Copies of this chain bind each other. A is one copy, B any other.
Amino acid sequence: MLAGMNSDKKLSTISFKHKHLLGIDGLSRGDVYSVMEIAETYIKKNREPDKKHAILKGRTLINLFFENSTRTRTSFELAGKRLGADVINMSVSNSSTKKGETLIDTAMTLNAMHPDFIAVRHPESGAVHLLAAKVNCSVINSGDGCHEHPTQALLDALTIYRRKGKLEGLTVAICGDILHSRVARSNMKLLTLLGAKVRIVAPPTLMPPFPESFGVETFYDMKKGLKDCDIIMMLRLQMERMSGNFIPSIREFFHFYGLDEEKLAYAKPDALIMHPGPINRGVEIDTRLADDLNRSVILDQVEMGVAVRQAVLELLGRNIN
């Protein structure tokens, strides 16, 4: 049992008044703690030989991925299968979907096959909302453009909670390519909702416009940004999303914004290092730090990812009838 809300309710009676999980907006603290509490039960179960539940037996989950992502797709596939659902993978290359109508046609076609859940990843911000407005089933945003990736933020929050025992009052520095990062956007929203103090650290070219609208502090200097923080959340340098020249060179980026021992020394001694993966070793993070199991919780994040997605599927599934 997490020391959060819902502590006197039975897990099986928690209600989750959302049809879709499209982003962090609209979630209450109670919703987030519900996901984390239920995820906690799956963490245990996933460590046992028999990881199977029948809770979604007969339900259908479609993983609809318009971008490659072995990691997130596999995490959703495992989450669905371990809950007993039938899981269908659909990889749609960008080349075959050039127009908005085609996305909707794809969505409507799948909808007619009566899935219960569609987990969607799409390279364009907002595409998942568009799709959700058209279908009957629950839609889970698995990453849309530079917009949101809510299950990533939920698994990050759970990872922090389990290590630090709380989120409220912690100082979290999100560092690197904030501009292109849906992970950063979802985390800024979720962490501030849960009472953490959030900083974003980036060169000016990788800072989003109007960062103050997220209620976060901005830093252009990594050492100042990391000073006395509890959590360092590094981001992947999204080469594939950089349409212009955002950084002078990889080497210079690492020099100023890559996480190494020297910069890490500014954070609290027990500060945790996070990264959504996959890591660009020597670009965002020194390779030894990534592997330091005393500091890095990168693999915890992966483990929490499956459990959080199971919790989200279970909670959304309670509304199916």
Tell me which of A47, A49, A70, A114 has the highest count of chain B C-beta atoms within 10 A of its own C-beta: A114
Which residues A75-129 have CB closer than 8 A to chain B? 75, 77-78, 81-82, 86, 88, 90, 92, 101-102, 105, 108-114, 116
Q: A47-B114, A60-B51, A299-B112 are known contacts. Are A101 and B71 too (CB-CB below 8 A)?
A: no
A300 touches B112 (CB 8 A): yes
A113 touches B58 (CB 8 A): no
Query: Looking at chain A, what size class is its interface with the partner chain?
Result: 35 or more
A86 touches B90 (CB 8 A): no
Does A279 make an interface contact (CB < 8 A)? yes
A60 touches B86 (CB 8 A): no
Q: A58-B52, A101-B281 are known contacts. Are A90 and B113 too (CB-CB below 8 A)?
A: no
B320 touches A49 (CB 8 A): yes
Does A286 make an interface contact (CB < 8 A)? no
A49 touches B321 (CB 8 A): yes
Q: A49-B58, A113-B302, A303-B114 are known contacts. Are A81 and B90 too (CB-CB below 8 A)?
A: no
Chain B residues whose C-beta falls within 8 Å of the C-beta of A321 in the assembled complex: 49
Does A57 make an interface contact (CB < 8 A)? yes
Identify A113's interface contact among B75, B88, B108, B281, CB under 8 A. Answer: B75
**Separation of A186 and B320 alpha carbons in the complex (Å):** 37
Does A59 make an interface contact (CB < 8 A)? yes
**Separation of A46 and B60 alpha carbons in the complex (Å):** 10
Chain B residues whose C-beta falls within 8 Å of the C-beta of A102 in the assembled complex: 278
Contact string against B for A residues 297-311, beta-carbon threshold 8 Å, 1 for contact and 0 otherwise: 001101101100000
Chain B residues whose C-beta falls within 8 Å of the C-beta of A48 in the assembled complex: 58
Q: What would be 27 A-B contacts, judged by CB atoms less than 8 Å apart? A: A49-B59, A49-B320, A49-B321, A50-B58, A50-B59, A51-B59, A51-B60, A51-B86, A51-B114, A52-B86, A58-B82, A60-B78, A62-B74, A74-B110, A74-B113, A78-B86, A78-B88, A78-B113, A81-B86, A81-B88, A105-B281, A109-B302, A111-B299, A112-B300, A113-B302, A114-B303, A114-B306
Closest 3 CB pairs of A and B: A50-B58, A52-B58, A112-B302
